[in-house]
Every structure is written in structure tokens, then in C-alpha cells.
Structure 1
Amino acid sequence: MTAPDTPVVLRVAGRPVGRYVTRPELPARLSPRPFLHPVTTLAGTAVTELSPADHTHHLGVGVAVPDVEGHNFWGGRTYVRDQGPTELDNHGAQRHGSFQLRDPDGFVEELRWIAAGAELLRERRTVAATELTDTAWALDFTFSLTNVTSDALSIGSPATNGRSGAAYGGFFWRARKEDTAPAVFTADSEGEAEVHGARADWLALAGGGSSRSSGVASGGGWTLVFAGATDTTRRDPWFVRTAEYPGVGSSLAPAERLPIPPGETAVRRVVTVVADGRLDRDEAAALVRKAVSQ
């Protein structure tokens, strides 16, 4: 029998493409939580980073939220209104509970979000890896957050606390940092300034190799195409960084705090295409359609 703290190795077409660590040994300041790293293309190119020097609390692929009723599940400093980023002793942790399913191509996991000795949220996380083509696969990541307290709680972000343009919190993918910043584009826009905060159906991040200004396909490199970030009633905006560091996430609380009443659940799903080579818009859109429909 596999030990519960043994990392899960995701495989596609028999090849390892992701390593999921359930019980990382991390300092409290990093808001310890399960994460995927490394995640690779089918050719073996790594497309994640773990605790890079620029942001040591960036942990590959996972769920991170900077403000759950004032508790930091993101790591690092907390943005305080009229004060700015501040070191606070307010870090929470996501604790692995159990696997309901654990297979080579995915798993279903239960986690507890704990802060100040109390459980605030219970999460059910479903992750699946699926082959799309001989050069691309999809990571299907769904998380459900249930308020297990007897009180109303809400999720915030630096944006809801006064920092414009910093609505990070939710699904987050820290991509590999290279000498040249990656290209980022959607079906109808391009560049960090245009894409950040958009509620686009999908968003592509492309690095390595070479590319023309339009982000069209060329030899070498890698492309990540993100789609979803929705529940049944809304589409979350995208949080995007390319110049400072490469990262893409969904924004649970872009302008207002997201309330989760006692016993209720917030659900989000993000499907990410992981492809070798730099895709153009048509290629990215086609792969996303295939990934989301599976």
C-alpha cells in the first residue's frame, strides 16, 4: 500500500508529467500547502518553479489565497490597507487529509485549511491528467472550498484591501523563469497589460524557443493554455504576470470579497493545456476545446 505522504506521480502515455507533494516540510511563512512540481511537457521540459528566489512562497501549481478572514494562505507578506505589504504572524496551512482516489492519471483529495488552530475550510480537490496529442496533454484541476465554521467567512485579495491590480488568489501556476519573459495572449488580446484582469475564455503563456510579436507558432519552447476558472454563475478574471515573473492564476476576489456562508461551497475548475512548442492562437484554441470537452 502506498504511504499517504508519498508524492503522487502523474503519468500521461506512460511518461511522468507531474509530481504532487502532499505534505511538504515548509516554514510557516510560506503557508505550507500541497503542490505540483515539477510539471513537464511530454518531451520533458519543466514548466513550473518551486520557491524561486524572487518569490519563495510560489510553490509550483496549486491553490493559494492571501486572505481568508484575515488569514494568509498565500505565503509571504500580507497587504494591509493604507500600510502596504506587511510581515504578519497570520499564516495558515492546507493539510492533506486523505485520498478518495489515487491513480497514475489523477486523484481526488480532501484537505483542511487551518489557521490559528481552527479549521476554516474543507477542500475537495480533483486532479486529472489526459493525453491530447503526441505533444500536448491537459491538467484538469477542480477545487471546492466549503465553510466548515458556524460563522460567515469571506475570501479577499490585496485588490480588495486597497492594492489596485493585485487580485491574486485561487488557482495559481508559477511558470519557469527564463532570460526572456514569456509571451501571453488570448483569442483577441496580447501582452500582460491587455490580458491581466481579462475574463477571457482562455489565456496562453508561451516561453522558450523563438516567436514573432503575435505569439504565433515557431520551433522549440513550450506553451501553457489556461481555460475555465468558473463556477456555475461567473467567470473569474485572470491574474497574469510576465515581466516581473511568469505566473498565471484565477482571481477569486477581483473587486469585492467572495463570501462563503456556513456550510456553503465555492467551486472552481481550471483546465491547463501543457504543450511542447510555441502555439499560435488557432492551435491554442483547438487544444483547449478538446481539453475542456473531455
Structure 2
Amino acid sequence: MTSSDSLVLRVAGRPVGRYVTRPELPARLAPRPHLHPVTTLAGTAVTEVSPADHAHHLGVGVAVPDVEGHNFWGGRTFVRDRGPTELDDHGIQRHTAFQLRDPDGFVEELRWVAAGRELLRERRTVAVTGLTGTAWALDFTFSLTNITPDPLSIGSPATNGRPGAAYGGFFWRARKEAAAPEVFTADREGEREVHGTRADWLALAGAAWTLVFAGATEDTRRDPWFVRAAEYPGVGSSLAHGERLAVAPGGTVVRRIVTVVADGRLSRAEAAALAGKAVTP
């Protein structure tokens, strides 16, 4: 453990991730708790924070570009018929408290606040576990509850008129290297084929590391994957792919993604086996 503002997650005594609860960032980056750096067991970093290409990408966390018109993703907001636009519409995720805090995981309460008003309350549960001598798993669950008296809806640039940009939800900004990472699922390969599809698992393989993302609940598996490889390496879920996601007053949206973090480049069979092992209770 570290200070009250961050903690270190460990697998078999090895540090594999640092969680920052109160990042000091400008408002336009939509400040939010996040994991960075996340590393393989051999110590290879597999996340980035505020890279030159997208300063609002913050390691591993939950980011949503449109919650009832408020930007919890950071950067410019996509406006229908105008395109990406600089607006003063950014929200912030505020760490409230840890309900549990151990070297192998935590349970955290957060408040999603915009324009002086709390819109969502989140419970975030994160756990790490070893899988093999060269791979471990990050189990990440978030529950978003509408605490307002009115219905809320979650959108994306895609639902606001930008095809192919249905990002919003769990998001992992991976390490950028000289060559773009490989992307594959059980039956598809390449960014063009994998982006926007539904698959039980998806792998992103860099020079000496592989990340395997697996939806661990029925609702999570229904969300299409958002994938970038050529422009930058990033993988996330799409809470609002084809239409806005409505959240009634008192209603809760729950998603769980388990990510295998492995040294080396995994084959399709190896990725499938580790994904299966990671999500098995």
C-alpha cells in the first residue's frame, strides 16, 4: 500500500499496478481514478497516461463521453453536425472511500459530478490474481447507479452522429510501440475485423506482451468491443453502441471485464485458455 491517494496492487508479492485515486489534472481531461502503470509479471509496462496523441487517456479505468450531455471521457466533445468541439462540459469522478483495500484488490465508492450536480454513484471492485508464472488477471467490475430523480442516458460519439466511435465504459489505454499491436479474437483478426464486434474475448499483442480482455457477465458480453491499434493501442467496451443506454432513477448498470496480462506474444489457443481460466469462478 502507499498513501491515501494511491495504492499498489501485487501478485505473489510482485507489484503489477498502481491505482491513483485523486489525480491532479485539468478539468478538460475529465479527472478520474485510474490504474497506471500496469505491468506484466516481468515488469513490462502495458498502460500509458496522458500520451501525446490523446492527453485524456488515463491508463485503465471507466470513461464515458456523454452522460446526459456531460463529458466524463475528456478532451473534445463530438457534437452532431459540428464534429469534435471544445466545450466546457467535463465531469469528474470523485473518489469517496475504500470499502476494502488490500494488496490484491479493493472496493471503492465514487461520485460522478458535473456542473455541481452528482449524477451517478459508482461502486468499483478490482481484484488481481496470478494465473501462471508469466500471466496474471485484473478483474474489474463497475456499477453505476442513477441517484437523480430523473432518467439519465449514456451516449457516445456514435449515438451522436459519428459512425464507428462507440467508445465509453471500461477503457484500457495500452503501451504505444514502434509497431502497432496485433488484434484478434477466436475467429477474427485485425482492427477492421474486430472493432465493433461481440466476442467472448479479445487479444491485443505487443512486442513482448499480450492483453486478453474477456466479458465476464451476460450484459458485458452483449457490449461490442471498441478497438484501436493503428492510430494508438486501446481497447474498451461500448455501453452505447447503436443507441443511448437509459438508466432509470435508482437504476444501476453493471459491467465486469477480466483482463489477462501476459508476458510474451500469446497464440490464439493460449489466449483462449487463459481467458477461460481468468473468468472461471
Which residue does 2:131 correspond to in 1? 132
Q: Extract structure 1 runs of 4+ deviating beyond 6 A.
A: none
Q: Give the conservation status (yes or no) of the 8 Å contact 1:4–1:98.
A: no
Give, as a single letter, the amino acid of the residue that structure 2 aligns with 1:4: S
Which residue does 1:227 correspond to in 2? 214
Q: Identity rate of aligned residues, in percent?
A: 83
Which residue does 1:272 correspond to in 2? 259
Which residue does 2:93 correspond to in 1? 94
Deviates more, 1:223-232 or 1:28-37: 223-232
SS at match of 1:278: coil
Which residue does 2:184 correspond to in 1? 185
Q: Give the conservation status (yes or no) of the 8 Å contact 1:33–1:94.
A: yes
Which residue does 1:215 correspond to in 2? none
- Report the Cα distance in structure 1 between the residues aligned to 2:222 and 2:101, rounded to whole angstroms: 29
- Report the Cα distance in structure 1 between the residues aligned to 2:94 and 2:158, rounded to whole angstroms: 27
Shift of 1:235: 1.3
Shift of 1:78: 0.2
- Is 1:58 equivalent to 2:53 in the alignment? no
| 2:231 aligns with one of 229, 239, 244 | 244
SS at match of 2:277: helix
- Report the Cα distance in structure 2 between the residues aligned to 1:276 and 1:253, rounded to whole angstroms: 32
Unaligned regions of 5+ residues in structure 2, if any?
Answer: none
Count of matched residue pairs = 281
- Report the Cα distance in structure 1 between the residues aligned to 2:86 and 2:236, rounded to whole angstroms: 23
Give, as a single letter, the amino acid of the residue that structure 2 aligns with 1:53: A
Which residue does 2:43 correspond to in 1? 44
- Report the Cα distance in structure 2 between the residues aligned to 1:279 and 1:165, rounded to whole angstroms: 28
Shift of 1:2: 6.9
Which residue does 1:143 correspond to in 2? 142
Q: Give the conservation status (yes or no) of the 8 Å contact 1:229–1:250.
A: no
Which residue does 1:216 correspond to in 2? none
Shift of 1:4: 2.9
Unaligned regions of 5+ residues in structure 1, if any?
Answer: 209-220
Alignment of 1:142-221 (within 5 A): 142-208=141-207, 221=208
Structure 1's 234 and 207: CA in aligned 2 closer, same or farther, altered over 3 A? closer
- Report the Cα distance in structure 1 between the residues aligned to 2:185 and 2:25, rounded to whole angstroms: 35
Give, as a single letter, the amino acid of the residue that structure 2 aligns with 1:282: A
- Report the Cα distance in structure 2 between the residues aligned to 1:165 and 1:64, rounded to whole angstroms: 17
TM-score normalised by structure 2 residue count = 0.98
- Report the Cα distance in structure 2 between the residues aligned to 1:200 and 1:233, rounded to whole angstroms: 10
TM-score normalised by structure 1 residue count = 0.94
Which residue does 1:22 correspond to in 2? 21
Shift of 1:93: 0.2
Provide, for residues 66-114 of structure 1, a one-character-per-residue CA deviation record: whole Å limited to 9, x for no partner.
0000000000000000110000000000000000000000000000000
**Cα RMSD (Å):** 1.2
Shift of 1:232: 4.4
SS at match of 1:194: helix
Give, as a single letter, the amino acid of the residue that structure 1 aligns with 2:223: D
- Report the Cα distance in structure 2 between the residues aligned to 1:65 and 1:46, rounded to whole angstroms: 24
Give, as a single letter, the amino acid of the residue that structure 1 aligns with 2:249: P
Shift of 1:17: 0.1
Q: Give the conservation status (yes or no) of the 8 Å contact 1:229–1:236.
A: no
Shift of 1:225: 0.1
Q: Give the conservation status (yes or no) of the 8 Å contact 2:200–2:221.
A: no
Shift of 1:231: 4.8
SS at match of 1:52: coil
- Report the Cα distance in structure 2 between the residues aligned to 1:125 and 1:63, rounded to whole angstroms: 9
- Is 1:282 equivalent to 2:269 in the alignment? yes
